[in-house]
């Protein structure tokens, strides 16, 4: 019978806090804080957090900061540039779900943007 408290290969791996001490040096701290904001946003809308939802919303935030608008193809291309191998259909389905839940809106030019209520939640003004 499997016992998770016993090591399976005879090695007892100890987690060392010093291994994670330099996380901020590589920029993971900023990314983590951004992800935490998006996690809270999804939770506020009653949605589970998933990697694809995090990345899609992050892509929309980056586009907004750069005064760009992105459609399905633009978001998919952005994710591919970041070496996130998601299918076009997966991205489209996530966008449709986020739209139906009111997190993002589909604009007249077929681009997507954060809904005003979602932007207010991210800014902490809601």
> CA-CA distance, 38 to 119, in Å (whole number)?
10
Residue 47 has pLDDT above 70, yes or no: yes
> CA-CA distance, 93 to 91, in Å (whole number)?
6
Beta carbons within 8 Å of 125's beta carbon, 6+ residues apart: none
pTM of the complete model: 0.70
DSSP-derived letter for residue 70 is B
For the record, the structure tokens of 30 come out as 């900023």
Q: DSSP 3-state assignment of 113?
A: strand
> CA-CA distance, 3 to 48, in Å (whole number)?
30
pLDDT at residue 1, as a whole number: 52
Q: pLDDT, tens digit, for every residue of 51-75?
A: 999 999 999 999 989 989 999 999 9
Query: How confident is the prediction for the chain on average, in pLDDT?
Result: 79
Q: Which domains does the chain have, with CATH numbers?
A: 28-123 (1.10.10.10)
Q: pLDDT, tens digit, for every residue of 1-35?
A: 555 555 555 544 444 343 334 333 333 444 445 78
**If we measure between CA atoms, which residue out of 58, 46, 59, 57 comes closest to residue 101?**
46
> CA-CA distance, 57 to 37, in Å (whole number)?
11
CB 102 within 8 A of CB 117: yes
pLDDT at residue 26, as a whole number: 33
């Amino acid at each position: 019978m499997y016992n998770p408290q016993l090591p399976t290969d005879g090695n007892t791996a100890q987690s060392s806090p010093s291994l994670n001490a330099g996380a901020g040096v590589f920029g993971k701290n900023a990314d983590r804080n951004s992800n935490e904001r998006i996690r809270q946003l999804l939770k506020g809308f009653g949605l589970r957090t998933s990697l694809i939802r995090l990345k899609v919303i992050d892509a929309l935030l980056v586009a907004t900061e750069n005064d760009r608008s992105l459609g399905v193809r633009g978001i998919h291309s952005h994710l591919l540039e970041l070496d996130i191998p998601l299918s076009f259909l997966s991205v489209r389905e996530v966008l449709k779900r986020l739209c139906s839940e009111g997190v993002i809106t589909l604009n007249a030019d077929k681009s997507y943007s954060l809904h005003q209520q979602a932007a207010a939640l991210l800014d902490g003004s809601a």
